Amino acid sequence: MRRQREFPFAHEPGYFRKGKPWIDPEYVEYEAEQYNDQLNLYHVTTDLPGVISAGKLLSRKELGYKNIGLGGGIKNEAASMVSATYNYSKALQIYETLKHTIDIAHGKVKASDIFNSFWGQTPHDEALDEVLNDFLPDGAIQEIDTTGNSDAIIDQHIKGPKNIYNFFQKLEQKILWEELQQDDTYNISQAGATADFDSVMKINPANIAILQLVAKKDAQPEHIPIEQELRFLSQDLKVVRYLQP
């Protein structure tokens, strides 16, 4: 693991390292026990050199992004904020998912492998079939039901990096929608699929990193329990170090 301190930071008394002060009290004990975590603050970046150069984090709005970027809420509702998770396991999951998403965009993952990674992992297999119907020609689903050879049929019709990435994106979005319609919990990670294909292709995997943060004590972030996340104004955060597991 690369663990570097590239950012000048003195331990000023005006900052907290942990998210506990801002987490809804009804969640604090559960979060700490459930994840065996110290509730430190983390953000996953796809542009480590840019963060090091700037010496700080900036929101998508401050960076001038016009489209939904990587993460930040399915409706891009947090474009002016910086998201920080207080669960290292969640940060690591986002980190690994982003790398996997880039592999998909570069054609390193087959469509059948993507579909199988979703199938049986959620109570919404019918929703997955709806997406499959959108990507396969008429009769292909019946052929799958008849032959049982789903992998070969899926890979025969869903090929090419851009098409495969779009398939992955639709699967993630469909399951997220089904989850939100049913209740207020996720069962799968949502990281990466909000970005379009061209944006993902521009990301250098070597520039993805987990940033450990501190936040001003007088900050007033929004707590999003469903995403184990706190959303801060960028000026309320400083970066302590980065990690690349």
> Lowest mean pLDDT: which of 59-68, 123-132, 164-173?
59-68
Average pLDDT over residues 55-76: 61
CB neighbour list of residue 169: distance below 8 Å, 6 or more residues apart: 193
Can you give the length of the chain in residues? 245
Both tokens of 97, joined, read 């998912």
Residue 62's pLDDT is: 75
How many angstroms separate the CA atoms of 221 and 22, rounded?
7
Taking only the tens place, the pLDDT of each residue in 21-47 is 898 887 777 766 665 567 899 999 988
DSSP E strands, the chain: 2-4, 15-16, 41-45, 82-85, 209-216, 222-224, 229-232, 237-244
Own/partner pairs, 47-55, CB within 8 angstroms, 24+ separation: 47/207, 48/207, 48/208, 48/209, 48/242, 49/207, 50/207, 51/209, 51/211, 51/239, 51/242, 52/6, 52/7, 52/242, 55/7, 55/8, 55/239
Q: How confident is the model at residue 152 (pLDDT cuts 50, 70, 90)?
A: very high
Residue 77's pLDDT is: 54
Residue 63's pLDDT is: 74
Alpha-carbon distance values, 165 to 95, 133, 159 (Å) = 18, 16, 9
**Number of separate domains in the chain:** 1
CB neighbour list of residue 172: distance below 8 Å, 6 or more residues apart: 188, 190, 193
Domain enclosing residue 200, as ranges: 2-244
Higher pLDDT, 74 or 148: 148
Radius of gyration of the chain (CA): 20
- HEC readout, 74-94: CCCCCCCCEEEECCHHHHHHH
